[in-house]
Amino acid sequence: MKFYILCTTLLLSVSLYAQEDDYYDEPEEDNETEYTGIFQGSEIGVDVAFTASSNGGNVGLGLKYGAKFGKYIIAGPSVRYDLTWVKNQIGTANGQNGKYSVYGGGAFLHGRFFNALFVGAEFEYLRSPYSKNGALTGLSTWAPTLFLGGGFSMEFNEKIRLNAGIMYDVINAQNSPFRGSYSITQKDANGNIVRILPIIYRIAFFIPIG
C-alpha cells in the first residue's frame, strides 16, 4: 500500500513540475501588430515630357501626388505645365512659328508589377491654343486628354522609382495641345501619311514621402 502511495506521489510531482515548466517556456505574445490596411503610404511624382516633329513640339513638367493602395496600385491628382511650339501650322499667318503655354490638372492611376513594369491611365484637362476644330487661333480652349499605356518601372534602394513609358491618347481631341508633337504616322501603299497616331513618351520619377 505504501508503495502505491509513493508511486502516486512521484507521478503527481513530475506532472506538476512539467506543467510549470511548460508555463514558463511559452513565449510571450507580441502585443505589437503589423499594419495590414489598404493604404500603404504616398509618393510625389515628377514627369518630364518632350516631343518634337516637323510641325512643332512640347516640353513640360507634371507633378503627381499618389496614394499607394496595397502592393500594386497608386493613384491621385496631378497638375501640368507645358510649353508648346508650332511650326507651319495651317491657320497661322504665313506659316509663322508660335509658342504657347499649356496648363491644367487631372488624375492618374498606375499599376506596378514585378518591380519591372507598369500600366496606367492619366486624365488631364488642359488649356490649349487650338480651337475646337483644331485650328491654331491663339485663343485658349480647354482640351481633355486620356493617355493609356505602360512601360518600364523600377524602384532603386526604396528611395526613388523610375517610370519610362509610351502613352496613347484615346480621346485625341481636335484641340489637344499635343497634336503638333505627334511623330508616329501610318502610311498607305504609296507612302502618303493617312493618320498621325496620338502617342507620346513620358518619363517620371516617384519619391516616397510617407
Query: Domain ranges in the chain?
Result: 39-208
- Split at pLDDT 50, 70, 90, the class of 16 is very low
Domain 39-208 fold: Porin (2.40.160)
The string of pLDDT tens digits covering residues 151-198 is: 999 999 989 999 999 999 999 998 998 877 787 888 888 888 888 899
Cβ atoms of 161 and 47 within 8 Å: the answer is no
- Split at pLDDT 50, 70, 90, the class of 29 is low
Q: How far is CA 202 from CA 30, 42, 89, 178, 180, in A?
A: 46, 21, 24, 13, 16
- Split at pLDDT 50, 70, 90, the class of 3 is very low
Q: What is the mean pLDDT of the chain?
A: 81
Angle at 71 between CA 29 and CA 208, to 5 degrees: 95
Least confident of 19-33, 35-49, 183-197: 19-33
* Separation between Cα atoms, residue 96 and residue 114, nearest integer Å: 48
pLDDT at position 27 is 53
Cβ atoms of 168 and 201 within 8 Å: the answer is no
pLDDT at position 1 is 52
The string of pLDDT tens digits covering residues 98-157 is: 788 899 999 999 999 999 999 999 999 999 888 887 777 767 899 999 999 999 999 999
> Which residue in 171, 192, 195 sits closest to 184, CA to CA?
195
